Amino acid sequence: MINGIINLKKEAGMTSHDAVFKLRKILGEKKIGHGGTLDPDVVGVLPIAVGKATRVIEYMTEAGKLYCGQVTLGYATTTEDASGQIVASKAVTPDLSAQAIDQAMQMFVGQITQIPPMYSAVKVNGRKLYEYARAGQKVDRPSRQVTIYDFKRISDLTIEDGYCRFDFEVACSKGTYVRTLAVDLGEKLGYPAHMSALERKASAGLELRNALTLAEIEAMVAENDFSFLLPIEYGVSDLPRQELTEAETREISFGRPIALATVEPLVAAFYQDKLVAILEPREELYKPRKVLI
């Protein structure tokens, strides 16, 4: 069995599920999952868990994300990104300042409420929102709380033909719709807007500069080179780390609780740099949620 974490560079034009399906064929391994869905048009880091590493996939999904993208002010689309049809437009005046945009962006930093876009995989009454959207049906969408750690402009403004474009970087929690963030920013500035480009730069401790495409992985497998597989420890990079003694590790291996000098709600327990377990508090002790040895 193949085990490990893959830092996959998902390319535009495929869903996260497509990427997993293709990796199953490349690796000849059925037990594969991804840690955090990427929209089909989005390029970037898609953490992949293979074999035993799928046991930590939920912690990869929970991890924060870093994106770079582009906002276009001047028109909104059905999908909130560049692939949709125009539903509203308003020419941007040349006097729109970078300072006004920066101030508006700062208003989103912290915990905010978002309403998922209609073209998304969020389920309402057992159906995905995009299924309602494609059928031309409207449905009440549940709001969600997400956290924006940083949201900043990283390029000059380009204002021409009634549109304003600029690049941005955002660090955010799981569940954040960056498309919706772009739309809501435009609303604050008084313009219809959409996200015109997006790239996920980092997720679950994995960075885009080190990511490999499906074609690169397939070529390595053909050469019997599996060096692209990262240790399972990468899957818990966002969890607080707790070093265990040999005696504590033995207790954990039997599923017994241990005393730890921490108050974290969840910790990744290590012994000699190897992931041993995921621990959670139970009364005054820490009990294994998952034992990985």
What domain range includes position 80? 65-196
Do 135 and 220 belong to one domain? Answer: no
> Residue 205: what pLDDT?
86
Helical ranges in 46-86 per DSSP H: 57-62
Task: Report pLDDT digits (tens) over 6-16.
Answer: 999 999 889 99
**Mean pLDDT on 246-264:** 94
**pLDDT above 90 (res 174):** no
State the Cα torsion 131-133-138-141 to the nearest 10°.
Answer: 70
Do 57 and 72 belong to one domain? Answer: no
Q: At 40, is the pLDDT very low, low, confident or very high (cuts 50, 70, 90)?
A: confident
Catalytic residue among 18, 39, 95, 273: 39
> Residue 131: what pLDDT?
77
Q: Name the pTM for this structure.
A: 0.86
**pLDDT above 90 (res 30):** yes
Nearest to 58 by CA among 238, 240, 263: 238
* Spatial contact of 158 and 164, defined as CB atoms under 8 Å apart: yes
Q: 138 versus 50: which is more confidently predicted? A: 50
**Mean pLDDT on 185-198:** 96
Task: Report pLDDT digits (tens) over 62-98.
Answer: 888 999 999 999 999 988 999 889 999 999 999 999 9
**What CATH number corresponds to the domain at position 77?**
3.30.2350.10
Q: Is 39 a catalytic residue?
A: yes
Q: At 141, is the pLDDT very low, low, confident or very high (cuts 50, 70, 90)?
A: confident
Do 172 and 224 belong to one domain? Answer: no
Do 126 and 39 belong to one domain? Answer: no
Nearest to 109 by CA among 176, 164, 44: 176
Residue 164: count other Cβ atoms within 10 Å of its Cβ: 24
Helical ranges in 149-177 per DSSP H: none
Do 104 and 221 belong to one domain? Answer: no
